[in-house]
Amino acid sequence: MSDFIDKAKDLAKDLTHKAREAVTDHADTIEGGIDKAAKFVDEKTKGKYADKIETVQAKAREAVEKLAAGKEGGGGDGTGGAEPDADEGAG
């Protein structure tokens, strides 16, 4: 069973690396799609949810930027970044 878990972790690392590369290579296109989708939804809802759309749009763009910079919040080890920052709790 341990062998299976190790293989799954390796696969997760590989997929994370490939996703990060894809986002890095196509960040401008992805951000353009985010903007286009936000504009479409805003037009269809006649501006009723403009503030929420802007918030989601900003968060999506942040996620793309973080992934492109290699800082998606996880260590790429399948833990989802479970290790706390050294600065947390100090202060």
Please choose, from the candidates 70, 40, 64, the residue with its C-alpha nearest in 3D space to the C-alpha of residue 53. 40
Burial class of 68 by CB neighbour count within 10 A (0 to 12, 13 to 18, 19+): buried
State the pLDDT confidence band at 87, using cuts at 50, 70 and 90. very low
Write out the residue range of the structural domain in which residue 36 sits. 2-68
- Does some domain include residue 40? yes
State the pLDDT confidence band at 89, using cuts at 50, 70 and 90. very low
The total domain count for the chain is: 1
- Does some domain include residue 82? no
- Does some domain include residue 86? no
Distances, alpha carbon 85 to alpha carbons 30, 39, 64, 89, in Å: 29, 36, 21, 9
pLDDT in tens, 34-85: 999 999 999 999 999 999 999 999 999 999 988 888 754 444 444 444 333 4
Which pTM value belongs to this model? 0.62
- Does some domain include residue 74? no
